[in-house]
Amino acid sequence: MGREFDFPPTSGVWSGWFGLVFVAGTITVIAWHGFTPLGVRFTVGLVLAGVLIYAFMLRPRIQVRGGAVRLVNPFHVVEIPLPLVRRVLVRSATYVFVGDRRKKYVGVAVGRDPRDLTRSRNGTWTVGRGSESFAGYRRPDGSSRPPVALQVPDMLEEWVERLARDARAHDDGHDLRVERTLIWPLILPTLALAALLAVVVMAG
């Protein structure tokens, strides 16, 4: 098993690309007919929509590289050294637990389909639909038949936890820290476009 992985978003990618194509096509049509005041307002709104589509639907991913798990979210990145990882749990999003497992960090790129989760009587969530046995889960009925298909959430849980165990065997992580970085080259244009949109709408 390799030491570096790149998990792209598990949903919304095609919708994201379609959205960007729609935005680009609509702006082209507006430009063809000339930028009237109404056209300018629509153009600014469409550019802002394009930035948000990219940020929320195409940019997020979860990476393992350089001895750390990188949770690439829309406007920030969380980098967690592997020795600090205690558990990885994929539900509607990915939760990476560190230390005593009370501290967790969320990555929005990888999640399970809600239909893959069922709530048991004690209120906990159980993975179903054949993706469970790879990562140690069992079906709601207690059976443990082989999975029908290996899913990305299962691979993410299994591989990252295995790499974390291997990393802790060589480094207890005592001097390591979790780093959170804001992506200002994406945040500032988003804020500027939102402000510009508010101005042109009020001015119109």
The pLDDT confidence band at residue 74, using thresholds 50, 70 and 90, is very high
For 100-120, how does the pLDDT look when each residue is reduced to its tens digit (9 = 90+)? 767 999 999 999 877 666 544
The pLDDT confidence band at residue 170, using thresholds 50, 70 and 90, is confident
**∠ Cα 54 56 57 (to 5°):** 70
The structure tokens listed for 109 are 């790129």
Query: What is the residue extent of each domain of the chain?
Result: 5-59+183-203, 64-182
pTM: 0.80
For 115-135, how does the pLDDT look when each residue is reduced to its tens digit (9 = 90+)? 666 544 444 445 444 333 333
In this predicted structure, what is the pLDDT of residue 11? Answer: 87
| 166 φ/ψ angles, rounded to the nearest 5 degrees | -65, -40
